[in-house]
Structure 1
Amino acid sequence: MSVAVKSARPRRIKSTLQRPDKFYVYDDGDESSSESTMTKCASNGTQTRDEQKLLSTHTIQKSNVLITPRKKLKKRKVKLMDWKKYHRLNVIYAFIDDLEKDFPAICTVTVIGKSVEGRDIKMLKISNSNAGNSGVWMDACIHSREWITTAVVTYMANVLVRNFHTFSDAVTNKDWHIVPVLNPDGYEYTHTHERMWRKNRAKYGGECVGVDLNRNFSYAWGQGDEGSSDDPKHVFYRGPAPFSEPESIAVRDAILGSVVPFKAFLSFHSYYELIIFPWGNRTDPCPDYVRLLEAGSIMARAIFETTGKTYKVGSTKDLTYYACGTSIDWSYSIAKIPYSYMVELRSRKNKFRLPKDQIPETCSEAWNAVQKLMDYVDKH
């Protein structure tokens, strides 16, 4: 929602939390307003040549007072960041930037990479800076049409930051690394051109074919005939090589370059209502299958207790289809992050076009699930 501030003089409005789920961010609009002072220079309403010349200079001296037309002023649009609708990239980035400004003791925003088209890939880190903390990774919109994922992780960031000191140690002893839009080019493209666009906006052969970023990670990349494609026009196109894309490189470098050991990796997707873990490239159970199944089931139970939604839990291949070169297989096998999950949010009914009135419930159930996972991680 945009509201034009109708003031003759621009004033700075502080970013304040109006309700637990809202706060304001700002953006200069293109609209402008102008007022000019008009003065009749002759009693009969006519103007002499000299008077017209004075008017043309936009400054009139009358009774020793200079009368000057007011300058054109840009109206400042006030954009509301909430979880009742889906927002564009500039609003999302302004939101995390404002969190950093308002809570500098626990919030840091960094650019972990640039997209194919040169957009920033921003990450919000929430931490009390304790040396013994472990890391949690959460990313959204690796597939650009999955808008609900960005809504969910920004909601979690908002709740975490504004209530940080009220949470248990299982939450506060973590360094939270949150990437709200991992595929910014594709995300913007879904708002301006093609709502169902999935991949990034990479160009190969002189045209934009896009790469499925969740097939571009190095573990099991290009393995077999299923799980990804070498056809640039295919929706599962894996790219010409592992980590050929700057977006997947950004994830790799941020995690492997961290001095904090990561305990959980959560990549949010939609719309199957699943909590899935490795492997995606084969049917064999991963070494920690039982533990991952148990922790995933605890998350699913938290979701059900929150909204009554039933999420299934299992390995990628068990619940969906072969998927090679995925981020969770890489995070589990190469980055050695023990709790690696892909959380498929709502909804099977609406698919990628989840109605905005379901955003709050989806955010709430996902956050409760993540909190339960943190409890499990600390106890095991």
Structure 2
Amino acid sequence: MNDDNSTYSLRSRQQTTMGGGNDETSNGSTRPFATSYSSPSSSTTSTPMSTRRTSPFLPTPLETLALAAYPALLAFGTLFSALSPQTRGAPYDAAAQSHHPDFAPSYFARKDNAVNVLFVKRGWAWVTVAFAVFVATHPSFRRVDSPIRKVRTAITRWALATAGWALVTQWCLGPPLIDRGFRFTGGRCEVAAEAVAEGTADEADVFTAAACRAVGGRWSGGHDISGHVFLLVLGSFFLLQEVGWVAARRGGGGFFGGAREERCVVMSDGAVKGAGVEAGAADDERGERELGIGSKFALAVVALCWWMLLMTAIYFHTWFEKFTGLLVAAMAIYPVYILPRWIPALRTFIGLPGI
């Protein structure tokens, strides 16, 4: 009898464990045993739709919004220039890319305005100083447990962006790409007749806009990609990337806070995951919520870039010259900030802002 009772108890416990038995309530009645197991279908339907990944091959929604500001500024400026009687009626020297100072429709329509001379003409120096101050002062770069790799990859991205700026506007195994494109589309330097006659200049040897101006010539005839647009777009978006994603990952909140998990990357095994999987433990901590003086300085430079981009859109260059300046800037941005997201080996070398 005892053996039968032991056998019965063992079978009851097995049934209960497998979820097939009944559970006795306190009042002696029975009810089906409630298991903690959830079917795959039920767990799938309860998963929030917000976990859907963004494409690692394209800018995130927030980046797309920031990028859209540039063609919007250029389109608004071009439209304003076409509709404003004062701007439309002002004489403009296309070869010199300037309004005559005596007839300029605005102070910012003069190439000798202080912001153009002191800021835009030295634009990449301002971008570099703003970036250096940001890296030197932001808490995420000054933490004792912050890896040296963060600083190294940030400097690498700056070096690549600087190389892009230099190749397009300064030197590319000779003349920069802007000047090469100008000559390729039929442009030439109309050297002053006196300089040619005196033998101090040779029209065939003047290959750059700077050299042309140095001998008193005029750079005209070809398609002049807007160097101002290129510089202002590349410099401001570079700072937005470096400051924005660091502020987002450090819990900056506000404009940056919602962007923290937007970026996705392709892993070495082909899986697509959120960029945060490559962050260290120190990066996942939140606490330094203040932007700091470096971030504010960088954002002030961005704001001034946007203002001068609008002034360029209103008063200088044709719409197609401005468009090509924007296009070339986008071509310099993509390899530094989007391409590493889907090439793991490149990401190891360049890194991602904030990671």
For the aligned pair, the TM-score class normalised by the smaller chain equals under 0.3
Q: Which has the higher strand share?
A: 1
**More relative contact order, 1 or 2 (CA 8 Å, 6+ apart):** 2
Q: Which structure would you say has the larger Rg?
A: 2
